[in-house]
Amino acid sequence: MTGDTFDAIVLGAGAAGMMCAATAGARGKRVLLVDHADAPGKKILISGGGRCNFTNIHTAADRYLSTNPHFAKSALGRHTPQDFIALVERYGIAWHEKTLGQLFCDGSARQIVDMLVEECRNGGVTILLGHPASVIDHGDGQFRVTVNGRERTAPALVLATGGPSIPKLGATGFAYEVARRFGLTIVHPRPALVPLTLGPDDALFRSLSGVSAEIEVGWNKTRFREAALFTHRGLSGPAMLQISSYWQHRTPISVNFLPDGEPDWLVKQKQEQPRISLRRALAAMLPARLTDALVERLALDGELANLPDKALRTAQSRLANWTFAPTGTEGFAKAEVTAGGISVAALSSRTMMAARVPGLYAIGEAVDVTGWLGGYNFQWAWASGWAAGQAIGGQRLATVGGDGGIRTLGRSNPPTAV
């Protein structure tokens, strides 16, 4: 092997790419890790408010969106949150559970980046930062990648350049471009875990900018009970970010402002405290500014004693099923992740390798697997990176489509240039 030949070239030194490179390196593979950014793991550094919500102990495939809901099972099952926690603990990084199984560093996200860089170093990974990969050729079982004017070759190429969410951090759709050239299909990429925008009909709610409340939000049969935040543009906060990944344009979402409200709660309030106003009754459950906006919309106020039971029941049912018609999202500029991406149909769920292009792998956010908010996306990055890192070097064998069947693949496709 010369200085320019490797067992694998990993494009993208983010969460998935570093995990993959370190895993393959630890198996004695010679790995080149390339990133156009001047530092690795930039998204990790800003994640979780600077503390990196690095995994979720409730990780399961049903907390991921994908065209094939079974695809993520194999990788998630083989590199689990406990495996990542064990790594974090080996490095003495203190962590805590914040809520809903979400694990954060006590200190800083920098510790996770330093840990992964150290793991790469331990595996002898060559890291090249500040250089995009410009040309990619493929032929005779070798991938040839030009980085900083020099050609590097390897029989394995790993696409780990993420999705286009937060372009100002260096995010691109590069992985899709390369994947397309190799004949892989792309599931339409769209912003996910992203604030929703409201139109003029819901302007009253935009004036609540900064108000947050625990609610239950629903779209079709999907429901999340978490905090929602009103913003000057629309709706944000964990509940809204979660539902945004499912939401489809020109469809409404429903909000239950009284997730703890028992049936007939308002009528019971009337019996127990007839002299209080509807506004006061609601203010016991909701922030004052939100209560004012809702009461204004309900056009129903005054003492409960003066309001008919029927009107109170109608009001409660409206509060439990308030519909908003988002006009859109705040887009990739504000999206924590990208939904869609490289179709899993052509990837092995065990190795992340493209069935028809031996040696070509895709991992992390670049792939059509998108997690809920709360550490699920990093867990997918670690798990898919680990799966590919374990497989590199055995690319003539692939399980296809997650069906457990093993096929021996023939020679690679004809030369391809990107």
Ligand X SMILES: Cc1cc2nc3c(=O)[nH]c(=O)nc-3n(C[C@H](O)[C@H](O)[C@H](O)COP(=O)(O)OP(=O)(O)OC[C@H]3O[C@@H](n4cnc5c(N)ncnc54)[C@H](O)[C@@H]3O)c2cc1C
Pick the closer one to ligand X by CB: 113 or 215: 113
Which tokens in the block code for residue 9?
Answer: 């070239």
Pick the closer one to ligand X by CB: 34 or 307: 34
Pick the closer one to ligand X by CB: 148 or 306: 148
Cβ at position 60, least distance to ligand X in Å: 15
Q: Where are the beta strands (DSSP E) in 368-417?
A: 370-371, 397-399, 406-408, 416-417
Cβ at position 24, least distance to ligand X in Å: 15
Cα(388)–Cα(66) distance, rounded to whole angstroms? Answer: 19
Q: HEC profile for 125-148? A: CEEEECCCEEEEEEECCEEEEEEC
Cβ at position 113, least distance to ligand X in Å: 10
Pick the closer one to ligand X by CB: 59 or 291: 59
Cβ at position 215, least distance to ligand X in Å: 22
Pick the closer one to ligand X by CB: 205 or 378: 378
Which tokens in the block code for residue 226?
Answer: 């978490």
In the bound state, the residue with its beta carbon closest to ligand X is 14
Cβ at position 293, least distance to ligand X in Å: 29
Which 3 state secondary structure label does DSSP give 265?
helix
Cα(151)–Cα(215) distance, rounded to whole angstroms? Answer: 54
Contact 96, 404 (CB under 8 A): no
Cβ at position 20, least distance to ligand X in Å: 9
Contact 101, 374 (CB under 8 A): yes
Cβ at position 172, least distance to ligand X in Å: 4
Query: Who contacts 223 (Cβ-Cβ below 8 Å, separation ≥6)?
Result: 216, 217
Cα–Cα distances (Å) from 335 to 84, 164, 167, 218, 373, in that order, read 25, 9, 10, 19, 11
Pick the closer one to ligand X by CB: 12 or 359: 12
Pick the closer one to ligand X by CB: 230 or 376: 376
Which tokens in the block code for residue 272?
Answer: 């127990």
| Contact residues: ligand X, CB under 6 A | 11-17, 34-37, 42-43, 46-48, 52-53, 132-133, 160-162, 165-166, 170-172, 174, 336-337, 364-366, 375-378, 381
